[in-house]
């Protein structure tokens, strides 16, 4: 279907010739992932943290860092290393050999609050009156500006502009007047608002905290004598560990030489708002979050799309890798065969900076190539997790038609994005969201599809059962 002229004119802002990351512009991004470990027998943990961060790389690709400590060494013997880049680019054997310790935390970052600069890379390490602490944080704090101002008025000097640094300073300030690091974390958690999963490392303790609504995921595992905490269960199993359970919303745990201790139990209100996008896109398919298999949830999402938006077609396919599992679900429900219609070149860098629209289209082809024999002369159902600006999926539809597809019907495993997220998910401002500017029919015309169907919010209950979810970016109903 050719796009009508009025739709193109209304969408010219999405086709600017500035900077577009051809992989990320079409998808929503998580802010980061965290991984922590304590070896009770004193084993070195840097290599295990490295492996755990590799498993969490999908949650953030801008910067990464590791902080370790030898609990049997002198107080304050913390060693750290962090840089901009991917885990495999930042850490090498000689780097890891210098990180000696049996307790440590690691972090991968995609910036939402605070810019993409080394000063905002994590874990954050602070030397203060009572000693040293390091912090790794996933999420966003909605009252960070007010807390930051209070801390600055008390003499705090910040190196970066992230809300994570604000949390670290707040814990350090509370620790000065508290009897323990656990008490300081408790005091801070009662003040901060938003979505967060926190790992706080002191020279002898690893403290773990999850926001009261459970917006951000966090789970607990074991590896021989070691306790592990990570954003996703896939990071635990990838290092050979055993998943034990999710950290409960509002729960604070302390891991010390004596073992695992519950510092604070979940609030009695029981209000929960787990991020629905963990199941739609963020989490790895081999993860299990809050009792729900991510793979199974995406299969159910695809099935829900097939029920709500059936179509006569010859083949179902997904955009690699974000739409593949949902496409399998759509195929199972509809009976239309599933095929891989795109070959993904995994060796092309994830970011393209191109000066013209034509070069941006070419950069998409460098990453994805259509398998002509799969789509030629066929009616294709194309599944993806979201449409943000619309330019990339429009290019993919054009590529399918060039390869001989008779029809292209798009199905999106999320409702239209209409509102920004304040809890650590990189949903752009309203003006950048195509669904905030155009109707579904106009978006369909703009991307060149024969039909377009978005998941209905009512189908979330089919995906995740009775799990209470946050869907504010779709319905403007913010839980905090």
* Whole-number Cα distances in Å, 323 to 381, 400, 412, 460: 11, 16, 8, 17
Token output for 372 = 């002509």
The label of the residue with tokens 């990351």 reads 21
- Give burial (CB, 10 Å; 0-12/13-18/19+) of 286: middle
Reference 140, options 420, 403, 347; nearest CA is 420
Contact indicator for 446, 392 with CB cutoff of 8 Å: no
396 Cβ contact list (under 8 Å, min separation 6): 319, 342, 364, 368, 382
Catalytic residues: 32
Instruction: List, in sequence order, every beta strand (DSSP E) within 188-347.
Output: 194-202, 205-210, 219-223, 226-230, 242-246, 252-256, 259-264, 274-275, 288-289, 292-293, 315-318, 342-344
What is the token pair recorded at 76?
Answer: 């304050």
Rg value, the chain, Cα: 23
DSSP bridge partners of 254: 207, 261
Give the HSE-up count for residue 464: Cα atoms under 13 Å, Cβ half-sphere. Answer: 21
DSSP assignment, residue 395?
Answer: H
For residue 99, report the phi and psi dihedrals to the nearest 5 degrees: -95, 85
């Amino acid at each position: 279907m050719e796009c009508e002229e009025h739709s193109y004119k209304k969408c010219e802002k999405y086709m600017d010739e500035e900077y577009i990351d051809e992989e990320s512009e079409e998808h929503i991004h998580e802010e980061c992932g965290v991984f922590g470990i304590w070896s009770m027998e004193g084993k070195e943990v840097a290599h295990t943290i490295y492996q755990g961060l590799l498993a969490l790389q999908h949650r953030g690709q801008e910067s990464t860092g590791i902080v370790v400590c030898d609990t049997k060494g002198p107080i304050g013997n913390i060693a750290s290393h962090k840089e901009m880049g991917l885990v495999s680019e930042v850490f090498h054997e000689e780097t890891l050999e210098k990180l000696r310790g049996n307790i440590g935390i690691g972090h991968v970052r995609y910036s939402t609050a605070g810019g993409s600069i080394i000063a905002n890379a994590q874990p954050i390490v602070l030397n203060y009156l009572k000693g040293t602490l390091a912090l790794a944080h996933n999420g966003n704090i909605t009252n960070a500006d007010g807390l930051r101002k209070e801390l600055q008025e008390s003499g705090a000097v910040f190196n970066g502009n992230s809300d994570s640094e604000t949390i670290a300073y707040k814990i350090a300030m509370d620790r000065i007047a508290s009897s323990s690091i656990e008490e300081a974390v408790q005091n801070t958690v009662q003040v901060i608002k938003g979505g967060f999963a926190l790992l706080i490392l002191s020279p002898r303790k690893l403290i773990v905290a999850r926001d009261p609504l459970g917006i951000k995921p966090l789970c607990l595992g074991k590896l021989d004598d070691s306790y592990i905490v990570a954003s996703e269960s896939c990071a635990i199993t990838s290092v050979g560990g055993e998943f034990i359970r999710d950290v409960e919303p509002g729960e604070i745990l302390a891991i010390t030489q004596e073992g695992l201790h519950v510092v604070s139990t979940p609030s009695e209100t029981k209000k929960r708002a787990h991020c629905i996008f963990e199941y739609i896109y963020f989490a790895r398919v081999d993860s299990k979050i809050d009792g729900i298999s991510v793979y199974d949830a995406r299969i159910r999402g695809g099935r829900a799309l097939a029920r709500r938006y059936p179509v006569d077609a010859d083949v179902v396919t997904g955009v690699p890798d974000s739409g593949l599992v949902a496409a399998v679900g759509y195929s199972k429900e509809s009976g239309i065969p599933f095929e891989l219609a795109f070959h993904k070149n995994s060796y092309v860098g994830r970011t393209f900076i191109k000066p013209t629209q034509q070069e941006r289209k070419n950069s998409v082809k460098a990453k994805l190539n259509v398998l002509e024999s799969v789509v030629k002369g066929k009616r294709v159902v194309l599944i993806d997790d979201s449409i943000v600006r619309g330019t990339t999926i429009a290019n993919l539809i054009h590529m399918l038609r060039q390869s001989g597809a008779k029809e292209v019907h798009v199905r999106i495993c999320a409702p239209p994005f209409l509102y920004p997220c304040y809890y650590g998910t990189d949903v752009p401002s309203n003006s950048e969201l195509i669904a905030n500017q155009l109707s579904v029919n106009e978006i369909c015309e703009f991307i060149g599809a024969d039909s377009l169907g978005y998941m209905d919010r009512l189908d979330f209950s089919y995906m995740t059962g009775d799990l209470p979810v946050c869907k504010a970016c779709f319905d403007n109903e913010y839980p905090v």
